[in-house]
Structures are given as structure tokens and as C-alpha cells.
Amino acid sequence: MTSRLNLVILGIQGAGKGTQCKRLSATYVIPHISTGDILRAAIKDKTELGFEVESILAQGGLVSDDLVNRLVEERFKQADAAKGALLDGFPRTIGQAEALDAILGDDGVKLCINLDAPIELVTDRLSRRRVCQECGHIYRDTDEAATSGECALCGGPVIQRADDTADSIRQRLSLYERDTAPLLHYYEERGLLVTLDADQSVDEVTAEIEKILAERGLV
């Protein structure tokens, strides 16, 4: 493996980013870093930035790019990120991508993997998704934990998120096209973009990613 395997995973919601990140994290022993997890961890750990985030959210505000950037920078200082990380949900904008470059310095982003999925596919996946409120584990609506409403891992409540309804999904996809899609051009210009078909089995997508990383000498 190269000095630090920093990978950005892009794709519209429901494309399978979280699933692939968990698999790759286990294979290459690097953390899966998502913006949502960082925010929740900072609040739970009662860090200085966590108190700032909690205050903003309590007032119904939006966490600024500057604050998210600082949280990501803080996360990369933790020991488990010494060999790199899988970035899921960050960067979301060109400004965040530039901030990430500054955070990583010479060790920068090694590859940006874009999981390309049809709108119909992700709409179906998201509308059928159920999530444990305690541990964040994801289920399908037909899973026993989803029908019982109790997480099989931690016993927490399993719900359908408010933003997984049809109207919310359409709004989120529109925001993605506006704010995040330009990142494809950003990484393509740097020769770091690889687009994969996400409309195939989880195993097939994982195999393609691992093959690309090996071919580029990144693992």
C-alpha cells in the first residue's frame, strides 16, 4: 500500500457508497469517514467542535463548510487514519474539495471513485431503506428488524428516515446535481476520477474497485 490510501467515494444517495466503504475499510484497514458520523461523534465525545455543532443544530441551523472542514481535519489527526481513509459524504462541494487538498497536503487524494446509478434504482433503494436510530445499521423494508422495528445488532429502534420519502429523495437528488456533481470535473481534471456502474451486485462493484486500486499500484 502507498503511504496513505486516501479515497473519495462519490455517487448520488442510494448508490451504495456506505456499503462499499465498509467493505473496503475492512479490507485495507483504513477508516470509513462520513460527515454524518463525524458530526455525531464530535457531539457524543463532547469536543470543543462538538459543542459548537450541537449548538448550531439545536437552533435549527446548518453546519458551515468551515466547521465541517475543521472536523474532517481533526478526524485525520486520529491514529487510525495514519494509513489513509475512505471519504463518504465529503467533499460535497468544490470548496470542500480544495479544503481537503489543504488538509492532506502532499499525501492528497489518491483516487475518486464515482458510483454511477440510475435515478430509478436509488429511488427504490432509498424508499425501501430502514435505519437504526442508535447504531446507524441499514436494513431493507423486508428485513425482520425493519418489520419488528428493533435492530438485530443493538436493539435500537429501526425507522424510515424522514428524508427517505419520495418527495425528499427528489429534493436531495436535485441538490446533489447542483452542488456535488461539479466535483466529477474537479477530480477528472486531475486524472483521479474513475466511474463505475453501481447497477450491479455489491460483490461485483467491490471487485471492480479492488481491481482498479491494484492496477494503479495503490494497494
Q: Domain spanning 5-212 has what CATH number?
A: 3.40.50.300
Residue of 40, 70, 128, 172 marked active site: 172
Sign of the dihedral through C-alpha 87, 85, 198, 188: positive
Residue of 161, 178, 211, 216 marked active site: 161
Cβ neighbours for 160, distance < 8 A, ≥ 6 positions apart: 129, 130, 131, 141
Model confidence at 84, pLDDT cuts 50, 70, 90, reads very high
Catalytic: 92? yes
Residue of 75, 110, 125, 129 marked active site: 129
Residue of 22, 70, 83, 92 marked active site: 92
**Can you give the pLDDT at residue 90?**
92
Cα Dmax for the chain: 49
Catalytic: 161? yes
129-153 confidence digits (pLDDT tens): 999 988 888 899 999 999 999 999 9
Give this prediction's pTM. Answer: 0.80
**What integer is the mean pLDDT of 110-119?**
92
Catalytic: 75? no
Is the pLDDT at 6 greater than 50, yes or no?
Answer: yes
Is the pLDDT at 71 greater than 80, yes or no?
Answer: yes
Model confidence at 4, pLDDT cuts 50, 70, 90, reads very high
Residue of 4, 17, 23, 75 marked active site: 17
Is the pLDDT at 2 greater than 60, yes or no?
Answer: no
Range with the poorest average pLDDT among 20-29, 55-64, 75-84, 152-161: 55-64
Catalytic: 172? yes
**Can you give the pLDDT at residue 60?**
67
